[in-house]
């Protein structure tokens, strides 16, 4: 198997084996290294040896082939060579993916029919999301195309859907809330830093407590550093527009007994809080994430913040909450910093992590 730094150097008829981290990476390598006409022969999970299996993510072994030219009449049609690849040179266009340098005879049978839905599932796309795409003619067209082309066009389709509805800015009166452990106070600090430093806005922050503790000492210190007034809840909170933004840090909402969230709902209604930011830990297991999202919708959530993205291996499942949930994505928290790790191009960031060409 021969390694080529661009499609022009790819050997017609040769097979190439890549061990990569995702279907996205595989599609990009096939397109860049072997050209638009290359076909995928097989895809399987590659087990890593030694310590790598403890610290590395799941890997995929992809075998692709460059189409051979039409044989002459006296040439057997199965005469396309299988070659052995040397080690990739330093600085080559291909990332140093793990390769064993050869495709062994009998390691795969006849060319497998690799389906786009199977690769999307590996990237974390949920069955519900795929089932909603299934009946559409656009989806059927994508499924019939070569795999690397269909992945790129899938990215275009997701981008189109993401931009089809007008953006909804966060109102100046807004509350940040979410389940315990979601990082709602850290999310509020990130948003405050962007408001004060980048957008040069001013306002005040109010800590709310009911019969549940709401420990937010770091928020008080952070507000003091920013020069933002920090207060404890004392109704009413209605203030003139000239006072700038008013952001509330609410106690954690509960998922087991939704009746316990009645006090939160009453506060949001009485204080006329129009912006309601639901903060969710994206690393939650799927059932918990769905329950937390539903509880936030019950409280009239308008915007969504996803946190702990640095702990999430598969970002594909987040599309359910971006395109089908009705909440406006505010930003992604990609790390623990109070003044950074804040990605406001939500759709673009998730496209880059789940599909090529984003």
**Per-residue pLDDT tens digits for 49-99:** 544 444 445 567 777 777 766 554 444 444 344 444 444 444 444 444 444
In a domain? residue 2: yes
Percentage of the residues of the chain whose pLDDT score is greater than 70: 66
Residue found under tokens 């021969």: 2
**pLDDT at 7 > cutoff 70:** no
Give the model's pLDDT for residue 356: 54
Q: Is the pTM of this model over 0.75?
A: no
Q: Which residues partner with 249 through β-bridges?
A: 176, 207
Asked if residue 266 is part of any domain, the answer here is: yes
Residue pair 205/188 in contact by the 8 Å Cβ criterion: yes
Q: What would the pLDDT profile of 253-276 be if each residue is shown by its tens digit?
A: 888 877 778 889 999 998 899 999
Which of 73, 98, 114 lies at the terminal end of a domain, its last residue?
114
120 in any annotated domain: no
- 61, 161, 174: which is closest to 112 by C-alpha? 61
For residue 105, being part of any structural domain is answered with yes
Least confident of 17-31, 139-153, 325-339: 139-153
Task: Say if residue 350 is in the same domain as residue 203.
Answer: yes
- Euclidean distance between CA atoms 214 and 252, whole angstroms: 8
Rounded to an integer, the average pLDDT of 30-54 is: 65
Clarify whether residues 182 and 85 are in a common domain: no
Looking at the structure, tell me whether residues 232 and 323 fall in a common domain: yes
Domain identity same for 90 and 199? no
Q: Where does the pLDDT of residue 121 fall: very low under 50, low under 70, confident under 90, or very high at 90 and above?
A: confident
Domain hosting residue 337, numbered range: 173-354
Q: Judge if 88 and 237 occupy the same domain.
A: no
Query: Structural domain tally of the chain?
Result: 2
In DSSP terms, which residues pair with 51 in a beta bridge?
none
Closest residue by Cα to residue 173 from 225, 271, 107, 245: 245
């Amino acid at each position: 198997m021969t390694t080529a730094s661009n499609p022009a150097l790819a050997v017609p008829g040769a097979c190439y084996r890549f061990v990569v981290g995702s279907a996205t990476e595989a599609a990009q390598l096939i397109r860049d290294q072997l050209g638009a006409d290359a076909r995928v022969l097989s895809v399987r999970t590659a087990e890593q040896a030694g310590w790598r299996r403890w610290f590395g993510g799941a890997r995929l072994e992809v075998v692709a082939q460059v189409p051979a030219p039409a044989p002459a009449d006296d040439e057997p049609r199965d005469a396309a060579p299988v070659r052995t690849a040397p080690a990739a040179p330093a600085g080559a266009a291909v990332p140093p993916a793990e390769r064993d340098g050869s495709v062994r005879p009998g390691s795969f049978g006849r060319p497998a029919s690799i389906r786009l839905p199977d690769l999307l599932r590996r990237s974390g796309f949920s069955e519900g999301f795929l089932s909603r795409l299934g009946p559409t003619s656009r989806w059927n067209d994508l499924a019939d195309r070569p795999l690397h082309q269909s992945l790129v066009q899938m990215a275009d389709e997701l981008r189109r859907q993401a931009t089809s509805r007008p953006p909804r800015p966060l109102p100046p009166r807004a509350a940040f809330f979410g389940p315990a452990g979601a990082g709602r106070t850290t999310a509020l600090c990130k948003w405050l830093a962007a408001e004060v430093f980048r957008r040069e806005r001013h306002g005040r922050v109010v800590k709310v407590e009911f019969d549940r503790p709401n420990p937010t000492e770091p928020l008080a210190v952070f507000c003091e550093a920013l020069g933002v007034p920090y207060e404890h809840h004392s109704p009413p909170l209605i203030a003139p527009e000239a006072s700038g933004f008013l952001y509330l840090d609410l106690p954690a909402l509960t998922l087991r007994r939704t009746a316990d969230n009645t006090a939160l709902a009453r506060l949001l209604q009485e204080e006329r809080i129009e912006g309601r930011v639901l903060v969710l830990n994206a690393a939650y297991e799927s059932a918990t994430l769905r329950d937390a999202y539903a509880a936030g919708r019950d409280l009239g959530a308008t915007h969504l913040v996803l946190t702990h993205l640095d702990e999430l291996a598969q970002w594909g499942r987040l599309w359910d909450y971006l395109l089908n949930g009705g909440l406006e994505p505010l930003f992604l928290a990609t790390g623990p910093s109070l003044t950074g790790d804040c990605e406001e191009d939500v759709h673009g960031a998730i496209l880059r992590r789940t599909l090529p060409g984003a």
